[in-house]
Amino acid sequence: MAGDAVPVEPAAPGVVISAAVMTHPRRQAEAARLAEALGGWHTRLALDPRPDGPPTTLRTAWAAWAAIRPGATHHLVLQDDVELCRDFTERVESAAREHPDTPLAFYANWDSWNGAATRAAALGGARWVPAVPGEWVPTLALLLPRRDVEALLSATHPDHAEPEPDDVALARVLRARGRRVLISVPHLVEHTGQPSLVGNDRYGPRHSACFADDVHDRAGAPPGAPPGERERDRDRDRPADSGPARLPEVLVHRLRGRAHIVLTGPDPLEDEPRFISLRAYLDETGMTGRGLAHWEKARRDLQAPDSMLRLCEELWYCAYLLGAHTGSGHMVPPPRLVRVALRSLVLGGTALPAEQRLWTERHAARLTTLAEHGFAAGLDDHRTYGPPRPVPAERRAALPPAERIWQDPRLADAA
């Protein structure tokens, strides 16, 4: 479990990070380049111990977590198909100092619940967001305190890894221990889009919901950085942080060409996420009428084939609800941040059907601008009318479990 005896250097007083890159022999060269970029962490490569066996992630992930160095307080595991943001190691070290006893993820897929939570948190000015209960733990870039590494290794075994992916196993083990994962806002790694070795390409392209290098120029401030003078200067265009990390209770989620709302509940550890259709949510919150007035104006200026009007309307309303839920207590998000977040909303939820995806990719810039107009309309309505009223508890309790969306996104149309 402890790896070999190569020492690791302290990242800061009380923080000692070791690292591993999990990989398959076919991608060993890419993994080696990634490990080299991590500098003084003495990063190890964790090769799939059974490369010709059934495709799985936990088998290799187990080896990567078992590579924790002696004396390390934290261990970082990266998958081999990620791109690091600028100053990645500095940012991870800063994050570990800020949250020394918390599992930290530095990525979430743009079409996941955690991606939707990241998007909402970014637009609201937060630097961290708790992972959504009931979804897998994002594992492309994950930092665990030593005690969580040891618990994971004790609770799993590589010889029985085939039926359970590593992100699901981590969610199960951490939840059983009452541990919450925080996700960086924005994300510190991007998925490179290499072909999946375990069949995940069926979900379409998988990218970050909000990648740091897209949000900031070279002077951009790192998430989790201490508020020193240099960071204040670099962060002057960010909205103010909203305090302790909180999970948004309303997530605007798009999956495989279908949009819906996921309600996380007042007690995220106890309340199972529920889903409701976009239309039903607008009705429940009293936003249908004024939303329609804004959309009719936007549609008059829209040039799109009739076959894509439903998609455009859905994108506009998703952005409108994001704006309506962006609190009035925050500064208006910087335009660059808004565009990055909304672009991932546009592209991330349109993996299927293929005709929609190809048309969306060709017109991504124009559709992102349409979403920006929807977001601005939502902000204006928030200022004028206040936040949307919450869904009553009894109504929420009657809604279907959100996990059913992963089996059939069309279920949201009738919810």
User: Residue 378 in contact with residue 320, Cβ under 8 Å?
Assistant: yes
User: Residue 252 in contact with residue 349, Cβ under 8 Å?
Assistant: no
Cα angle 406-188-195, degrees, rounded to a multiple of 5: 50
Sheet holding 258-263, edge to edge: 250-255, 258-263, 274-277
Handedness of CA 127, 132, 133, 134 (dihedral sign): negative
pTM of the model: 0.89
* Each residue's pLDDT expressed in tens, for the chain with a length of 415 residues: 444 555 555 555 689 999 999 998 988 999 999 999 998 898 999 998 887 777 778 999 999 999 999 999 999 999 999 999 999 999 999 999 999 999 999 999 999 999 999 999 999 999 999 999 999 999 999 999 999 999 999 999 877 655 689 999 999 999 999 999 999 999 999 999 655 444 444 455 789 999 999 997 544 444 444 434 334 334 434 444 546 789 999 999 999 889 999 999 877 667 899 999 999 999 999 999 999 999 999 998 888 899 999 999 999 999 999 999 996 555 688 999 999 999 999 999 887 778 888 999 999 999 999 999 999 999 999 999 999 999 998 999 999 999 998 888 888 777 7
Give pLDDT, residue 171: 95
Give pLDDT, residue 367: 96
- 65: phi then psi, degrees, rounded to nearest 5: -70, -30
Give pLDDT, residue 356: 87
Cα–Cα dist 178/165, whole Å:
20
Beta-sheet strands, E only, within 124-191: 128-130, 141-145, 182-184, 189-191
Give pLDDT, residue 330: 59
Cα–Cα dist 318/214, whole Å:
21
